[in-house]
Copies of this chain bind each other. A is one copy, B any other.
C-alpha cells in the first residue's frame, strides 16, 4: 500500500531539515545556499519550494526545530534533572548536528536579519518546569521565581556555550557548566538539596550517552 500523502510530506520535511542543518552547520548562514541544501537532500526545486520558500524560512525552521531530536535525560523532574539537561545539551552541541546548527543560527540570526526568540523561550519553559518540580519537593529557596530563573538560565547558558565555542570549540563546555552551577546553586537551592546534587563535568558524557 502506498504511503499516505501527509506522512510522506512529514518525512520529506524532516529530510530537508536535516540536510539544511548539515549545510548551515558546515557553512554558516551566508555560506549556505538553497542549491547546496537541495543537493544534500536529494530534492528537486519543486519539492523544496513546496516546503520552504527561502533560505531564511529554512534557517528559521532549523532554529525552532533544534530540540526535536532531543529526549530529556532520564530521572525524576527537579534540580538534578535541570542540571543534567544542561550537561546533556553540552554533549549534544558536541555531537548532534541539528541541535548545533539550530543554536548557531539562533545566536547568529542578527547577521541575516532575523529577530526570533522562540527557541530561547522554549528552553526557558523547559527549565521553568523543572524548577516548579523542585519547588514541589521543597528543594528551591523561597525567594526563587521559577519563570524568571528559567530565563536567567537560558541567557547564562547561551553565553557560556558561545564563549566556550569561541575559546575551545566547546571542548571545555562541561567544565564551564560546572563553574556556572557552582555560583548559581547557592541562590537557587536549599543547602540540604545542594548537598545531594552532582555537577561535575564528567556528567556531560554520562548523561549525554545515556539519554539516547
Q: Which of A99-155 contact B (CB under 8 A)?
A: 104, 106-113, 115-117, 120-121, 144, 148-149, 151-152, 154-155
Nearest-neighbour CB distance to chain B for A158, whole angstroms, equals 3
Q: Which residue of B lies closest to A116 (CB)?
A: B166
Q: How far is the CA of A152 from the CA of B161 in the complex (A)?
A: 11
Q: Which of A13-21, A48-56, A89-97, A175-183 contacts B (4 or more CB under 8 A)?
A: A175-183
Q: Is A74 an interface residue (CB 8 A)?
A: no
Q: Which of A147-203 contact B (CB under 8 A)?
A: 148-149, 151-152, 154-167, 169, 176, 179-180, 182-188
Q: How far is the CA of A133 from the CA of B110 in the complex (A)?
A: 37
Q: How far is the CA of A112 from the CA of B154 in the complex (A)?
A: 25
Q: How far is the CA of A117 from the CA of B166 in the complex (A)?
A: 6
Q: Across the interface, which residues of B come within 8 angstroms of A166, CB to CB?
A: 106, 109-110, 115-117, 120
Q: Across the interface, which residues of B come within 8 angstroms of A116, CB to CB?
A: 166
Number of A residues near B (Cβ < 8 Å) is: 47
Q: Across the interface, which residues of B come within 8 angstroms of A163, CB to CB?
A: 117, 120, 151, 154-155, 158
Q: Is A6 an interface residue (CB 8 A)?
A: no
Q: How far is the CA of A152 from the CA of B172 in the complex (A)?
A: 13
In the complex, which of the residues B30, B106, B148, B184 contacts A112, with contact meaning CB atoms closer than 8 Å? Answer: B30
In the complex, which of the residues B111, B156, B160, B162 contacts A180, with contact meaning CB atoms closer than 8 Å? Answer: B156
Known interface pairs A108-B107, A117-B167, A154-B159; A183-B176 also in contact (CB < 8 Å):
no
The 8 A-B pairs of least Cβ separation, nearest first, read A159-B159, A158-B159, A155-B160, A186-B187, A156-B156, A183-B187, A111-B111, A155-B163
> Residues of A with Cβ closer than 8 Å to B?
28-30, 104, 106-113, 115-117, 120-121, 144, 148-149, 151-152, 154-167, 169, 176, 179-180, 182-188
